Amino acid sequence: MRRSICTCDPHFVIAGNKSTYRFIFTTANDLKKNTKLIFDLNSQGRYFDWQIPQANLKSKSNLIWAEIPNSKPISAKQISLDKFEFTLPKDLKISESITFFIGSLDDKSSGNFCQLYTQRKKSFNLHISYDGKKENDTFYLDVKGNKLFNIKAITPSYVLRNKRFDVTIRFEDEFGNLTSNTDEDTLIELSYQHLRENLSWKLFIPETGFIMLPSLYFNEPGIYKIKLKNLKNNQEYFSDPILCFEFDDTNLYWGQLHSESIRYDTQKEIDISLRSFRDTSSHDYSATSSFDSEKETSTDAWKKIAATVSEFNEDERFISFLGEQWLGDLKEEGLRQFIFSKDNKSILRKDDLKSNSLKKIYKTFTPKDLISIPSFTMGSQSLYDFKDYNPYYERVVEIYNAWGSSEGLEKNGNLHPIEGPKKEQKGNIEGSVINALINGCRFGFVAGGYDDRGIYKDFYDNEQKQYRAGLTGILAKIHTRDSLFQAMYNRSTIATTGEKILVGLNVANMPIGSELNTIQKPGLMFNRFISGYVIGTDLIKEVQIYRNGKLLNKFNPKKDTFEFEFDDSNNLLDVAIKKEGHPPFVFYYLKAIQNNNHVAWTSPIWVDHITDASSIKKTKKK
């Protein structure tokens, strides 16, 4: 059986380049005059997708048209965003060709932009209808990385002295794609402080665009950065900071609990999305965050997501959590990100009788099974006032995501306020995380990523202010799902606006998420010893220590590492918050601001004034 032939010229392209591309279709069947041919770019028209061309031949620049032998250029009719219909002006015989062009009619005009991400066998579809039959053919071409622009060292944030760890070196173009597109004789020198025997390594750039370096270690505790130097142009690159301990049983794992992949649809391409979070973004963990409605997430889609999450979960490499977003009544329930501790859980839908309220859901699960994260709490469509806060399930709260921070109002120091073109699209103070803490809620902080689904689906089009996707650091003993889940329950988390800023806070030598009291440590009544550190990815502009939501102390390090300690010597009862149903208490948290305006938060630490041991409230489920 004869088959039509589809070829591309060129047969591969460079991400982000502008050119004119030829797609040559040689038919295996006679195509009569007026036959319709639909050329499909398979592009969603986003800034990083393949550029959508114009169909008007008069424009000449960024144009799509077709040609057959001995004929004038054939114009197209745009029938949807990325589909263009052509009509044959005359018969096309077997073995004759029609060529589709995307670019410019002459060299002086602007061509067409290739997509900004690499892809093996990028497809362009051709649909043909003739003699009552339909034929579908596909053009394939590879999109390769652009010129070397950045070198990135992927390292752990915490390591132990003399304990070996692995480093991944990524060679990237300006769009973050892996690339080997550089001069053949390019050499990269790798070094770091206290390198054993004062050696440095010389690295070639492989065809794959990355190198795995096993068994590095540091001889002494301290703060390190891997340095990579391109010996061709003397350009230097540095890894994120690495904190080396003498002894410690805690590790720091980075990822996102609530995020949509910018490039991939996490409903239809869940496997590709998780692989991207794991391999491209170098996350230690990820959680799915589909919305609960049947329209957003069908039952079949949920089953596929759950199966893929189970498949990707791998101890000591990448932890995947099954999660979903559930939108309840405004103020009373708000928007939730549910994180399940186990696989293959059924989706909880607001429209279902058994899961149409948070109270019903909480009765169905135990705190070992489910964490409920209030998300985007100051948003107009997701407002939560924390009056029905549940301390057993709502162990952490999303203080930030790419659409803004719910910490508080801009006038109170929020550097990433929720802002839209309309008044109702701005942040609502009723959902302030700090106000909730002042009112007695106790939760840690996490940060979400980018989202364009559910309540967020119109944000991009209506000019809602967008920031960089956030990151959550989880301080856990080992890299397993159970350990990370338990650490979240213990509020052992830090949140950042997207960079791996290392922050630590201790009160009376107790870490973030802790609850202290004057029965266990009577001296807290008169003095609280506070210590901590910030290790930045840029120079640190300010380190702010908050007590009860108000600034207690501020430092201006003007360097990229800073340690501090001081005493809060106020009598506890003089500064404590007094709320009905709670013992007098204070809470502390740290907020670090870099010169590049990236921010990091530690989860709070609480100190209760208690006079009777029997009145201590146990807020942790055994």
Is residue 229 located within the same domain as residue 299? no
- How many domains is the chain partitioned into structurally? 4
pLDDT at residue 233 tops 60: yes
For residue 171, the enclosing domain spans 150-248
- SS3 readout for 302-336: HHHHHHHHHHHCECCCEEEEEEEEEECCCECCCEE
Residue 503 included in any domain:
no
pLDDT greater at residue 47 or residue 196: 47
Q: Give the tens place of pLDDT for each residue, 85-115.
A: 999 999 999 999 999 999 998 876 789 999 9
Please give the pLDDT value at position 616. Answer: 60
Mean pLDDT score, 124-134? 88
Give the residue carrying structure tokens 């009719």: 77
Domain boundary among 89, 118, 144: 144
Please give the pLDDT value at position 522. Answer: 95
Is residue 488 located within the same domain as residue 527? no
Apex 475 CA angle, 437 and 467, nearest 5: 65
Q: Do 64 and 99 meet the contact criterion of CB atoms below 8 Å apart? A: no
Is residue 236 located within the same domain as residue 353? no
pLDDT greater at residue 158 or residue 219: 158
Helix/strand/coil for 396: strand
Closest CA to 331 of 370, 396, 380: 380
d(CA 323, CA 325): 7
Q: Give the tens place of pLDDT for each residue, 302-340.
A: 999 999 999 999 999 999 999 999 999 999 999 999 999
Q: Do 448 and 400 meet the contact criterion of CB atoms below 8 Å apart? A: yes
Give the residue carrying structure tokens 């003699």: 131
Residue 326 included in any domain:
yes
d(CA 586, CA 548): 6
Q: Give the tens place of pLDDT for each residue, 40-82.
A: 999 989 889 999 999 998 887 899 999 998 888 999 999 999 9
Query: Who contacts 338 (Cβ-Cβ below 8 Å, separation ≥6)?
Result: 323, 324, 325, 326, 348, 361, 370, 371, 372, 373
Residue 352 included in any domain:
yes
d(CA 50, CA 52): 6
Residue 64 included in any domain:
yes
Is residue 155 located within the same domain as residue 126? no
What b/e readout covers 87-98, taking b as 16+ CB neighbours within 10 angstroms?
ebeeebeeeeeb
Strands 561-568, 550-555: parallel, antiparallel or unpaired by DSSP? unpaired
Is residue 205 located within the same domain as residue 118? no
Is residue 257 located within the same domain as residue 197? no
d(CA 169, CA 187): 13
Considering the entire predicted model, what is its pTM?
0.91
Q: Is 358 exposed, middle or buried (0-12, 13-18, 19+ CB in 10 A)?
A: buried
Residue 170 included in any domain:
yes
In this prediction, residue 418 has a pLDDT band, given cuts at 50, 70 and 90, of: very high
pLDDT at residue 270 tops 80: yes
pLDDT greater at residue 420 or residue 567: 567
Closest CA to 433 of 420, 452, 414: 414
Is residue 295 located within the same domain as residue 196? no
Where residue 27 sits, what CATH number does that domain have?
2.60.40
The H-or-E segment that residue 128 falls in is strand 119-130
d(CA 584, CA 582): 6
Closest CA to 237 of 186, 192, 178, 198: 192
pLDDT greater at residue 425 or residue 353: 353
Please give the pLDDT value at position 447. Answer: 98
Where residue 601 sits, what CATH number does that domain have?
2.60.40.10
Where residue 399 sits, what CATH number does that domain have?
3.20.20.140
Give the residue carrying structure tokens 């060679």: 171
Helix/strand/coil for 566: strand
What b/e readout covers 195-222, taking b as 16+ CB neighbours within 10 angstroms?
beeeeeeebebeeebbbebeebebeeee
How many percent of the chain have pLDDT more than 70?
A: 96
Give the residue carrying structure tokens 């360097």: 559
Please give the pLDDT value at position 615. Answer: 61
Looking at every residue in the chain, the average pLDDT score rounds to 93
For residue 512, how many C-alpha atoms fall within 13 Å in the half-sphere facing its CB? 32
Q: Give the tens place of pLDDT for each residue, 579-604.
A: 988 999 999 999 999 999 999 999 99
Look up residue 239 and give its two tokens.
């890894």
Closest CA to 552 of 525, 589, 524: 589
d(CA 600, CA 148): 30
How many percent of the chain have pLDDT more than 90?
A: 84
Give the ranges where 323-406 is alpha helix by DSSP (H): 358-364
Is residue 225 located within the same domain as residue 348? no
Give the least confident one: 126-135, 326-335, 373-382.
126-135
In this prediction, residue 622 has a pLDDT band, given cuts at 50, 70 and 90, of: very low
Look up residue 294 and give its two tokens.
């049947």
Domain boundary among 228, 248, 268: 248
Residue 504 included in any domain:
no
pLDDT at residue 619 tops 50: no
Is residue 161 located within the same domain as residue 267? no
Q: Do 257 and 446 meet the contact criterion of CB atoms below 8 Å apart? A: yes
pLDDT at residue 621 tops 50: no
Torsion angle defined by CA atoms of residues 381, 385, 390 and 391, in that order, rounded to the nearest 10 degrees:
120
Helix/strand/coil for 158: strand
Domain boundary among 498, 526, 553: 498
Is residue 224 located within the same domain as residue 256? no
Residue 257 included in any domain:
yes
Please give the pLDDT value at position 199. Answer: 63
Closest CA to 99 of 64, 70, 68: 68
Query: Who contacts 451 (Cβ-Cβ below 8 Å, separation ≥6)?
Result: 258, 259, 260, 289, 401, 402, 403
pLDDT at residue 572 tops 60: yes
Is residue 244 located within the same domain as residue 156? yes
Paired strand residues for 29:
none
Could you give the C-alpha distances from 198 to 107, 192, 201, 211, 516, in angstroms and in order? 54, 9, 10, 22, 46
Q: Give the tens place of pLDDT for each residue, 525-549.
A: 999 999 999 999 999 999 999 999 9
d(CA 53, CA 102): 7
pLDDT at residue 620 tops 50: no
Could you give the C-alpha distances from 153 to 81, 436, 515, 622, in angstroms and in order? 39, 39, 37, 40
Closest CA to 16 of 85, 119, 125, 138: 119
Where residue 237 sits, what CATH number does that domain have?
2.60.40.1930
Is residue 556 located within the same domain as residue 410? no
